[in-house]
Amino acid sequence: MIKFIFKEHRYLILYSVSIILTIILYAFGLLESFVSYLKLFGYLSSFILGILYTTAFTTPFAVGAYLLLDSGMNPIIGGILGGLGAVLIDIMIFEFSESEIGKTFKFGHHAYKLKRIRNKFVLEISPILAFLIFLSPLPDELAAMLLGLEKYSLKRFAIISFVANSLGVFSILSISSVI
Protein backbone atom coordinates (compact mmCIF):
# COMPACT_ATOMS: atom_id res chain seq x y z
CA MET A 1 0.00 0.00 0.00
CA ILE A 2 2.76 2.47 0.96
CA LYS A 3 4.71 1.51 -2.16
CA PHE A 4 1.62 2.23 -4.29
CA ILE A 5 1.04 5.63 -2.66
CA PHE A 6 4.68 6.61 -3.11
CA LYS A 7 4.72 5.44 -6.72
CA GLU A 8 1.54 7.34 -7.63
CA HIS A 9 2.35 10.54 -5.70
CA ARG A 10 6.14 10.57 -5.46
CA TYR A 11 6.56 14.11 -6.82
CA LEU A 12 4.00 15.57 -4.43
CA ILE A 13 5.53 13.60 -1.57
CA LEU A 14 9.08 14.74 -2.43
CA TYR A 15 7.93 18.37 -2.77
CA SER A 16 6.24 18.10 0.64
CA VAL A 17 9.41 16.56 2.10
CA SER A 18 11.45 19.49 0.76
CA ILE A 19 9.08 21.93 2.48
CA ILE A 20 9.34 19.99 5.76
CA LEU A 21 13.14 19.78 5.40
CA THR A 22 13.33 23.55 4.88
CA ILE A 23 11.27 24.10 8.04
CA ILE A 24 13.59 21.74 9.97
CA LEU A 25 16.68 23.55 8.62
CA TYR A 26 15.15 26.83 9.75
CA ALA A 27 14.22 25.44 13.19
CA PHE A 28 17.80 24.29 13.82
CA GLY A 29 19.32 27.54 12.53
CA LEU A 30 21.04 25.89 9.57
CA LEU A 31 19.10 27.91 7.01
CA GLU A 32 20.10 31.12 8.78
CA SER A 33 23.74 30.02 8.83
CA PHE A 34 23.61 29.34 5.09
CA VAL A 35 22.01 32.73 4.44
CA SER A 36 24.57 34.58 6.57
CA TYR A 37 27.29 32.90 4.48
CA LEU A 38 25.45 33.89 1.28
CA LYS A 39 25.28 37.52 2.44
CA LEU A 40 29.05 37.68 2.01
CA PHE A 41 28.48 37.48 -1.75
CA GLY A 42 26.15 40.48 -1.84
CA TYR A 43 23.94 40.60 -4.90
CA LEU A 44 25.48 37.42 -6.29
CA SER A 45 23.57 35.61 -3.53
CA SER A 46 20.30 36.59 -5.21
CA PHE A 47 21.53 35.10 -8.49
CA ILE A 48 22.51 31.85 -6.72
CA LEU A 49 19.15 31.63 -4.95
CA GLY A 50 17.44 32.37 -8.29
CA ILE A 51 18.99 29.18 -9.63
CA LEU A 52 17.53 27.29 -6.66
CA TYR A 53 14.16 29.08 -7.00
CA THR A 54 13.21 27.11 -10.12
CA THR A 55 13.22 23.40 -9.32
CA ALA A 56 10.61 21.56 -7.29
CA PHE A 57 12.93 20.27 -4.62
CA THR A 58 14.87 23.49 -4.05
CA THR A 59 12.08 26.08 -4.36
CA PRO A 60 11.01 25.93 -0.67
CA PHE A 61 14.64 26.26 0.41
CA ALA A 62 15.21 29.26 -1.90
CA VAL A 63 12.02 31.00 -0.75
CA GLY A 64 13.01 30.51 2.90
CA ALA A 65 16.52 31.80 2.18
CA TYR A 66 15.18 34.84 0.30
CA LEU A 67 12.93 35.64 3.27
CA LEU A 68 15.97 35.59 5.57
CA LEU A 69 18.28 37.37 3.12
CA ASP A 70 17.22 40.94 3.88
CA SER A 71 20.56 42.65 4.20
CA GLY A 72 19.83 46.05 2.79
CA MET A 73 19.57 44.51 -0.66
CA ASN A 74 17.59 46.57 -3.13
CA PRO A 75 14.61 44.31 -4.00
CA ILE A 76 14.58 45.54 -7.62
CA ILE A 77 18.23 44.62 -8.26
CA GLY A 78 17.87 41.42 -6.22
CA GLY A 79 14.75 40.51 -8.23
CA ILE A 80 16.50 41.08 -11.56
CA LEU A 81 19.52 39.00 -10.54
CA GLY A 82 17.31 36.25 -9.10
CA GLY A 83 15.31 36.27 -12.33
CA LEU A 84 18.52 35.85 -14.35
CA GLY A 85 19.55 32.84 -12.26
CA ALA A 86 16.08 31.32 -12.59
CA VAL A 87 15.85 31.80 -16.35
CA LEU A 88 19.13 29.89 -16.88
CA ILE A 89 17.68 26.75 -15.34
CA ASP A 90 14.27 27.29 -16.93
CA ILE A 91 15.86 27.38 -20.40
CA MET A 92 17.53 24.02 -19.71
CA ILE A 93 14.20 22.51 -18.64
CA PHE A 94 12.47 24.07 -21.67
CA GLU A 95 15.06 22.68 -24.09
CA PHE A 96 14.79 19.26 -22.46
CA SER A 97 10.97 19.20 -22.74
CA GLU A 98 11.15 20.25 -26.41
CA SER A 99 13.55 17.41 -27.18
CA GLU A 100 11.33 14.84 -25.45
CA ILE A 101 8.26 15.32 -27.67
CA GLY A 102 7.26 12.00 -29.21
CA LYS A 103 8.93 9.93 -26.51
CA THR A 104 7.09 7.75 -24.02
CA PHE A 105 7.51 8.14 -20.28
CA LYS A 106 6.05 6.24 -17.37
CA PHE A 107 4.15 7.99 -14.60
CA GLY A 108 2.94 5.59 -11.94
CA HIS A 109 1.37 2.63 -13.71
CA HIS A 110 0.59 4.55 -16.87
CA ALA A 111 2.72 5.19 -19.93
CA TYR A 112 2.23 8.50 -21.74
CA LYS A 113 3.50 9.66 -25.08
CA LEU A 114 4.48 13.32 -25.01
CA LYS A 115 2.71 15.12 -27.82
CA ARG A 116 2.82 18.63 -29.09
CA ILE A 117 -0.07 20.70 -27.74
CA ARG A 118 -2.49 21.63 -30.52
CA ASN A 119 -5.62 22.69 -28.63
CA LYS A 120 -6.28 26.32 -29.62
CA PHE A 121 -7.65 27.33 -26.20
CA VAL A 122 -4.67 25.82 -24.36
CA LEU A 123 -2.27 27.51 -26.79
CA GLU A 124 -3.87 30.89 -26.08
CA ILE A 125 -3.89 30.65 -22.28
CA SER A 126 -0.62 28.75 -21.78
CA PRO A 127 1.64 31.85 -21.75
CA ILE A 128 -0.58 33.43 -19.06
CA LEU A 129 -0.68 30.20 -17.07
CA ALA A 130 3.10 29.80 -17.42
CA PHE A 131 3.62 33.40 -16.26
CA LEU A 132 1.53 32.75 -13.13
CA ILE A 133 3.42 29.53 -12.38
CA PHE A 134 6.80 31.28 -12.82
CA LEU A 135 5.59 34.14 -10.63
CA SER A 136 4.56 31.84 -7.79
CA PRO A 137 6.80 29.64 -5.66
CA LEU A 138 5.45 26.63 -7.58
CA PRO A 139 8.09 24.58 -9.41
CA ASP A 140 8.98 26.15 -12.78
CA GLU A 141 9.17 22.72 -14.41
CA LEU A 142 5.40 22.86 -14.87
CA ALA A 143 5.52 26.06 -16.92
CA ALA A 144 8.67 25.09 -18.83
CA MET A 145 7.17 21.75 -19.82
CA LEU A 146 3.87 23.39 -20.82
CA LEU A 147 5.54 25.87 -23.16
CA GLY A 148 8.14 23.36 -24.32
CA LEU A 149 5.47 20.88 -25.40
CA GLU A 150 3.84 23.49 -27.59
CA LYS A 151 7.14 24.39 -29.27
CA TYR A 152 6.97 27.94 -27.93
CA SER A 153 9.67 30.34 -29.10
CA LEU A 154 12.77 30.19 -26.86
CA LYS A 155 13.12 33.99 -26.91
CA ARG A 156 9.51 34.55 -25.82
CA PHE A 157 9.82 31.79 -23.23
CA ALA A 158 12.95 33.40 -21.76
CA ILE A 159 11.23 36.79 -21.55
CA ILE A 160 8.17 35.33 -19.77
CA SER A 161 10.39 33.34 -17.40
CA PHE A 162 12.68 36.26 -16.62
CA VAL A 163 9.93 38.83 -16.01
CA ALA A 164 7.79 36.50 -13.89
CA ASN A 165 10.67 35.07 -11.84
CA SER A 166 12.09 38.56 -11.29
CA LEU A 167 8.71 39.76 -10.03
CA GLY A 168 8.42 36.68 -7.79
CA VAL A 169 11.85 37.23 -6.26
CA PHE A 170 11.17 40.97 -5.96
CA SER A 171 7.95 40.18 -4.06
CA ILE A 172 9.70 37.81 -1.67
CA LEU A 173 12.53 40.28 -1.03
CA SER A 174 10.00 43.06 -0.47
CA ILE A 175 8.09 40.90 2.03
CA SER A 176 11.36 40.00 3.79
CA SER A 177 12.21 43.66 4.31
CA VAL A 178 8.83 44.23 6.00
CA ILE A 179 8.98 41.16 8.28
- Using one digit for the tens of pLDDT, what is the confidence trace for 21-43? 999 999 999 999 999 998 889 89
Q: What percent of the chain has pLDDT over 70?
A: 83
Confidence of residue 10 (pLDDT cuts 50, 70, 90): confident
Question: d(Cα 122, Cα 63) in Å, to the nearest integer?
Answer: 29
Q: What is the mean pLDDT of residues 46-70?
A: 90
Sign of CA dihedral 108, 111, 112, 113: positive
Q: What is the mean pLDDT of residues 122-151?
A: 83
Q: If you average pLDDT over each of 71-75, 90-94, 136-140, which comes out highest?
A: 90-94
pLDDT of residue 15: 83
Question: pTM score, two decimals?
Answer: 0.82
Confidence of residue 75 (pLDDT cuts 50, 70, 90): very high
CA atoms within 13 A on the CB side of 105: 7
Check whether 90 has a pLDDT greater than 80.
yes
Check whether 104 has a pLDDT greater than 70.
no
In single-letter form, the type of residue at position 101 comes to I
* Domain boundaries of the chain, sorted by first residue: 2-178
